[in-house]
Amino acid sequence: MDGRRVYVDIETLPGELSPEELTQLTRKKVPRNIKREDTIARWMTDNRDSVHRKTALSALHGRILCIAVGTDDTDEIESFYGVDNCLYEFCTWLHGYQGTIAEYRIEWVGWNVRFDLQFLRLHAARLDLERIGLALPRRSSEILDLQAIATAYQRGQYMSLADAAGFFGWAKGEGLDGSMIYDTYRQGEHDLIRRYCEQDVRLTRELAWKLWA
């Protein structure tokens, strides 16, 4: 069975938490060396927003806003946008690609792609989108993490996609980075986020080719 690749990237938002849920979550994040109730209360007030924003990195709390995908078969990058709606559109895309998935061994490629795949699997299951769950990889041999490849000889070294792109002289970002997605979303700049997500997939594919990965 020949192999094909799907290059993928997602953008996420913090979770929609009730005030009570956010309070409980913030309390869990209080450093253990803080003991006094008044100090705990002050820490929680100071860090409440930060704790909420960091839920964008948790598949159990965060929301998927945008999914972008590409393949080696075409230069086109496709993207799907909107909380939950992007998963339904991605499912439709997979339906059109299912003949390829059935015929070939699919390798899922991305920068720190396990982060993306965890979100996709859990949120597809939440929405009962079986087609996504069946298409996603079950074995490590079906996953190609370019971040791991780029840092393979320097254990513990962090390298961002922007770092790798800059090394080759490629521009990245639409003026954004991942930490800016939430504010950009709240400002209503949805096309900017979509282009940013698409560009990450395009860069990931270019890096895979450049690194002979």
pLDDT of 16-38, one tens digit each?
Answer: 999 999 999 999 999 999 999 99
Return mean pLDDT, the chain: 92
Residues 84 and 189 in one domain: yes
CA 50/CA 58 separation, integer angstroms? 13
In the DSSP assignment, the letter for residue 141 is G
Residues 137 and 34 in one domain: no
Six-digit token string for 70: 């590409």
Residues 23 and 75 in one domain: no
pLDDT score of 104: 60
Q: Which string of b and e fits 1-11 if b means at least 16 CB within 10 Å?
A: eeebbbbbbbb
Domain membership flag for residue 62: no
**Which range of residues forms the domain containing residue 23?**
19-57
Indicate the helix (H) or strand (E) that contains 100: helix 85-103
Phi, psi of 164 (to 5 degrees): -65, -40
CA 179/CA 56 separation, integer angstroms? 9
pLDDT of 92-131, one tens digit each?
Answer: 999 887 555 555 678 999 999 999 999 999 999 999 999 9
CA 8/CA 116 separation, integer angstroms? 8
Domain membership flag for residue 65: no
Comparing CA positions, the residue from 157, 170, 168 lying closest to residue 200 is: 170
CA 34/CA 194 separation, integer angstroms? 41
Comparing CA positions, the residue from 109, 136, 131 lying closest to residue 200 is: 109
| Threshold 0.85, pTM exceeds | yes
